[in-house]
A and B are shown apart, each in its own frame.
Chain A
Amino acid sequence: NAGVTQTPKFQVLKTGQSMTLQCAQDMNHNSMYWYRQDPGMGLRLIYYSASEGTTDKGEVPNGYNVSRLNKREFSLRLESAAPSQTSVYFCASKPGQSTDTQYFGPGTRLTVL
């Protein structure tokens, strides 16, 4: 039981390049989330998927797209990376929409030059 896994762990991009961050969970959770954490700040929600087949914008969605590929996988895509997107990205999941605990992946550290 690996919990929530994220790939890659580290990535360096040039401005304008695109990439997809992958997230998978093996806990049969319905809801999945993407956050970013900038230095000295808390986690800000980018997008979330309350259940398979649905996605919704969070607090800071601009410049990102997501795909809930199936119940296990939730990917985050940067179409044209910008230096302002340099951050640590965390994926999380939880059993349902009710206010229970989120389980986080180890994070992806992204640098955009």
Chain B
Amino acid sequence: DSGVTQTPKHLITATGQRVTLRCSPRSGDLSVYWYQQSLDQGLQFLIQYYNGEERAKGNILERFSAQQFPDLHSELNLSSLELGDSALYFCASSVASADSYEQYFGPGTRLTVT
């Protein structure tokens, strides 16, 4: 158990809908990262927050947004969902915001868009 929690574990929704994925980092970690894992794209970095502020952005679609709250939990919002958004979404956390810190991953949220 990494100490990172993600809810829900599974999510099934229809095209065009909007969903929110939630992540709580390990105790003491200030940085939260979101990754998407799909069969065709592999594991791709989406976005990072550090202590409430956006720190880095990757291949995140405009339909997707995220935020980190004062209690350090984070939410990833996915809107106008398409079939291609079906994937495993991971949240990870680290103590600080730098290359040198290992990231601990949550169990993931499996999103299925039908």
Q: Are A and B genuine complex partners?
A: no
